[in-house]
Amino acid sequence: MLDESEYVEQAYLFQLLRERIVEQVPLQELLEQVQSELLATAKLPMAVGFLLTELKHSGVMSPAMKRLQHYFTPFQTFLIVEAESERGRFDMRVALHVLEAEAKFRSKALSPQGSFLFQFETLCRNGLSYDRGLAAIAQDSLYDAVWSAWIAEVRKQVGFVDLADMIFLRSEEFLRLVELEGGDVSQKPPALFGAKEGRIAQANRRKDPMYLFSAMQRHLHYPQVPRAIAPDSNKELLPQMMRRMERLEARIKLLEEEARGGIDLTKFFGPPPPQALP
């Protein structure tokens, strides 16, 4: 885990890139612009310089992030890889927005429960690969060996077992119910989620996982995953109307010329081709 100042600067970097990339400025120029705006005492300017070098040589920056595993988390690298993929549909603006929100969460009261739910919801909402995504999540230094082993189980069982069931079975609420029924909890795996998470997961079993994430955010104040903003169709409405008006005016002129005695086709003729020299 990095210092709090590093995550604050990361959030600022991703915010600047997200806000300025909509101006159709190349990412290479954006990194050159924001490098001088970052805090000089942090390590992020050096990391940005390394990313910029890789971007100039290969056109992508995910290989450089893979080499900076001591600074960028595997999940951050995974998001950039998916955003830079030619076959994927994960927009770079959404990736930067998610990275910004996660960096802000890491700079504050970070918990493994909230971080896992945030990362898993990111995979769900954006249609990313569960296999590669959960593999990257398990490698995060935030999670200890017990957490990493459980995330590996989720990776194997996702799609076959409900996520709410998996969370409920590893919660303090489940252990409490086992004790009430006279069961032996010493043989059960340790709880990874609290009693509140367990009750919320139990109430959302056999439901859409989005309801589970929303309930966790409402009651436990976990961070929300940024969503893709639909393009504003009103911005294109006026140019479309102007193009239609121009086509209508051209048609009306042709009709007027035809009504006055015919259309002069000579104005549509081009210049004669040059004659070949003997």
For the chain, the domains span: 1-110, 111-227
Q: Is the dihedral of CA 48, 23, 92, 220 positive or negative?
A: positive
Q: What does the alpha-carbon distance between residue 167 and residue 202 come to, in Å, rounded to a whole number? A: 9
| Exposure of 33 in the CB half-sphere (CA atoms within 13 A) | 12
Residue written as token pair 């140019």 = 239
Q: Are 114 and 223 in contact (CB under 8 A)?
A: yes
Write down the H helix ranges in the chain: 4-20, 27-35, 44-58, 62-67, 74-84, 92-106, 112-126, 130-138, 145-157, 163-169, 172-180, 195-203, 209-220, 234-259
| Secondary-structure breakdown of the chain: helix, strand, coil percentages, each rounded to the nearest 5 | 65, 0, 35
Residue 235: what pLDDT?
Answer: 63
Residue 76, both tokens: 């951050």
Residue 200: what pLDDT?
Answer: 95
Residue 269: what pLDDT?
Answer: 65
What's the Cα-to-Cα distance from 111 to each of 164, 194, 223, rounded to whole Å?
19, 12, 11
| Total residues belonging to the chain | 278
pTM for this prediction: 0.79
Ramachandran quadrant class, 61 (left: phi over 0; alpha: psi -120 to 50; beta: rest): alpha
Q: Which residues, 6 or more positions from 67, have their beta carbon under 8 angstroms from its beta carbon?
A: 50
171 three-class SS: strand
Can you give 46-59 as a three-state secondary structure string? HHHHHHHHHHHHHC
* CATH code, residues 1-110: 1.20.81
Cα angle value 218/189/155 (rounded, 5°): 65
Q: Are 45 and 68 in contact (CB under 8 A)?
A: no
Q: Is the pLDDT of residue 2 over 70?
A: yes
Q: Are 16 and 37 in contact (CB under 8 A)?
A: yes
pLDDT band at residue 231, thresholds of 50, 70 and 90?
Answer: low
For 142-182, write each residue's pLDDT tens digit. 899 999 999 999 999 998 999 999 999 999 999 999 999 88
Q: What does the alpha-carbon distance between residue 20 and residue 37 come to, in Å, rounded to a whole number? A: 14
Query: Residue 63 class from Cβ within 10 Å (0-12 exposed, 13-18 middle, 19+ buried)?
Result: middle
10-35 average pLDDT score: 86
Q: Which residues, 6 or more positions from 150, have their beta carbon under 8 angstroms from its beta carbon?
A: 170, 189, 192
Please give the backbone phi and psi of residue 171, each rounded to the nearest 5 degrees, phi first. -115, 160
Mean pLDDT over each residue of the chain, to the nearest integer: 87
Q: Is the pLDDT of residue 236 over 80?
A: no
